[in-house]
Amino acid sequence: MDAWAAATGPREVLLANPRSFCAGVERAIEVVDRALERFGAPVYVRRQIVHNTHVVHDLERRGAIFVGEVDEVPPGSVLVFAAHGVSPAVRAEAEARGLRVVDATCPLVTKVHTEVRRHSSREATVFLIGHADHEEVEGTVGEAPADVVVVEDVAAAARVVPRDAGNVAYAMQTTLAVDEATEIADVLRSRFPELQAPKSDDICYATTNRQRAVRDIAADCDLLLVVGSPNSSNSLRLVEVAQREGVPARLVDHAADLDLHTLVGMRRIGVTAGASAPPTLVDELVGCLGGLGPLTVDEPSADPEVLRFTLPKEVS
């Protein structure tokens, strides 16, 4: 009761714009929805379709079964590959088991896979800027394991040694923090003048837009709350972006996880959500804050995101 009393009071909420679902996430969820409609339950999904526990639990209730690896799927079943992409070895294993595959890989991740294959075909070393333990990076490395070197930070960029310094390229995990990834790429460019860059930035539009939106509101906030699950890379990066702007930031998987102690003395609260977090969770969080006292909610204007991806032919 004391924590509740200390957390009450009038507040302003500033909503980052844009926030929440991106086109790749919406497509991946729709792929599972349509697979359930077309083929019936159960539909198996390798790994989390997107990194959000609420999305996964909702799809489980409708008949999806999430597995870690392909060998957990009964032969002949329908299997959906998650939005983060898979390696060619995983695709081959699914084919060997006679599975009916529906690929929900985000097209922007597929673009990075294509870049890696292109560079590998000319025997270049590809520096993949990203986190080695992330599923997206695991899948991308699998395109050319002998040619890809994961570079996680500036220190690694400063010491990495390719087999031929004159034949090198780089690619990026799509959900990195833009400023950190740029710093790593700058180090690589300074060391390898022949370094080939992607034709366009690999970090996806949604990640870039959501990080920019956080920077836009950070100076006006006492605290920034990011709705997202702990395994969501893009959500974690939003927390880091806010912290680098000098604002305390917390990741909140759900309004029920909000620690009232963090709200004490915080009158101007920014709220955003990672690209894999449903917008309804943001509404619930704002509703929860409204239960602690009078609330005004503002949202800066921004150009709407209009990108949409076509569905795989198996479910279109």
Question: Which residues are catalytically annotated?
Answer: 136
Query: What is the chain's length?
Result: 316
Q: CA-to-CA distance for 188 and 173, rounded, in angstroms?
A: 16
Number of Cβ within 10 Å of residue 48's Cβ equals 21
Paired tokens of 62? 């409708």
Helix (H, G, I), strand (E, B) or coil at 35: helix
Residue 112 neighbours by CB under 8 Å, 6+ apart:
140, 171, 172, 173, 174, 198, 202
Q: Indicate left, alpha or beta for 123 from its phi (over 0: left) and psi (-120 to 50: alpha).
A: left
Q: Residue 195 gets which letter from DSSP? A: P
Report the 3 state secondary structure along 118-141. Answer: HHHHCCCEEEEECCCCCHHHHHHH
Instruction: Let me know if 196 is exposed, middle or buried by CB neighbors in 10 A (0-12, 13-18, 19+).
Output: middle
Q: Which uninterrupted H or E stretch holds 201? A: none
Q: Is-contact 117 93, C-beta < 8 A?
A: no
Of 206, 220, 225, 227, the residue nearest 282 (C-alpha): 227
